[in-house]
Amino acid sequence: MASSVLAPVQERGRAALEHLGLPNRRQEPWRLTDLKRLAAVSKLPASASPLSTPLPPSLEGVTRLVLNGFDDPLAGQVLPEGITALNAEELEQALGHTLDRCGCAQVWPVEFNHAKAEQILALRVRGQVGPLELVLAAGAGLNATRVLLLLEEKAELELMQVLLAEGASAHSHVLEVHLGQEAQLRHGVLATADGASSLMAHLAVEQEPRSSYALTSVVQGWNLGRVEPRVVQVDGQAQTMLKGLAVTGAEQQLATHTAVRFDGPEGELDQLQKCLAGGQSHAIFNGAISVPRDAQRTNAAQLSRNLLLSDLARVDTKPELEIVADDVRCAHGATVSQLQDDELFYLQSRGIAAADATALLLRGACQEVIAQLPAAAQAWRPLERVMESLAP
């Protein structure tokens, strides 16, 4: 069923890639990207084997679905009451709608996914349902996955997405979410790898009035990573919360590009993005907020806080606020710093060794975001994973 619906999408995606070619540095969104690494990802063959590392058991009461690009994630599964799979007609009608509304249907990473993805998980959510966990994992090669979620009016869902990779592999992932009026989605993303894999994840979210979307993302360990949450409040009067933690080391490059657009009045945004860059790595954050004339009484706040953990690490952060409405409250701030000497001295003066003092401060910096992940994330030990990656 999914393959027949995706066939024309794949054809359009392949045609678009031939027309677009690879991105280049003259294009602003790609100006800082290591394009040699991107070219290497584009040449990877499709993954044909599962991840060799066993998955930890999920928490009690959590429904886990595994997407590896070739096995049916719904085979043998009993979905929680209120969650149903879309039929072919519903899928054909809804597929790509949110990408269009968010203005990202034709950008290179999405067209790349269109050309490569052969399977889609498409679900409808009604009412208040139990927690759902989506695990995206495959072995060597390219794993292209696509997910579509439709939350009906007043629906409530807690969703945990986990992206895993090892060795010479890559993830291309596209998620579309439509939130009906008064719907609520608490969304966690934990994307972790061993330093040799690559990631391109596009998250497109469309919010109707009085809906609430809370995204917490923790991303670490990718040789090349690009995470792009794009949210549009179609008629305003909605709440959006974006909390992100990006951790880089060695010679990794990780970029987070967010875009939030208010197409109506009285919308709210609370955004915090943290980057911790060590080794010779490069962390990038670009946060775009669009407030057109119709979006009066918008209340948006964006904060970018970055830590350089070595003299050779680099962080680029760029807020972009386009405000046309004249009755708004919009604030933004960005800091790039190192661990504070006075904080380290305070801890060491109380008998804590220098290495332990550094680890304690880093743990606190990470925990501020990690604590916001859904409860299902506990099975994956997110804080421990991040701290292990920061160990010298």
pLDDT of residue 1: 45
- Do 95 and 9 contact (CB within 8 A), yes or no? yes
- Token pair, residue 283, equals 């962390």
- Do 255 and 226 contact (CB within 8 A), yes or no? yes
> 184-200 pLDDT, tens per residue?
999 999 999 988 999 99
Confidence of residue 208 (pLDDT cuts 50, 70, 90): very high
- Do 282 and 316 contact (CB within 8 A), yes or no? yes
> 125-166 pLDDT, tens per residue?
999 999 999 999 878 899 999 999 999 999 999 999 999 988
pTM flag (> 0.85): yes
pLDDT of residue 30: 96
- Do 92 and 9 contact (CB within 8 A), yes or no? no
Q: How far apart are CA 324 and CA 261, in angstroms?
A: 12
Q: 305-315 burial, b if ≥16 CB within 10 A, otherwise e?
A: bbbbbeeebbb
pLDDT of residue 3: 61
Report, as an integer, the average pLDDT of 335-354: 75
pLDDT of residue 119: 86
Place of tokens 């708004």: 328
- Cα–chain center distance at 291: 22
Nearest to 133 by CA among 147, 150, 143: 147
Confidence of residue 345 (pLDDT cuts 50, 70, 90): low
Locate the domains of the chain by residue range: 1-234, 263-338, 341-392
Place of tokens 């979307």: 213
Residue 37 burial (CB count, 10 A) = 17
pLDDT of residue 59: 95
> 16-68 pLDDT, tens per residue?
999 999 999 999 999 999 999 999 999 999 887 778 788 999 999 999 999 98
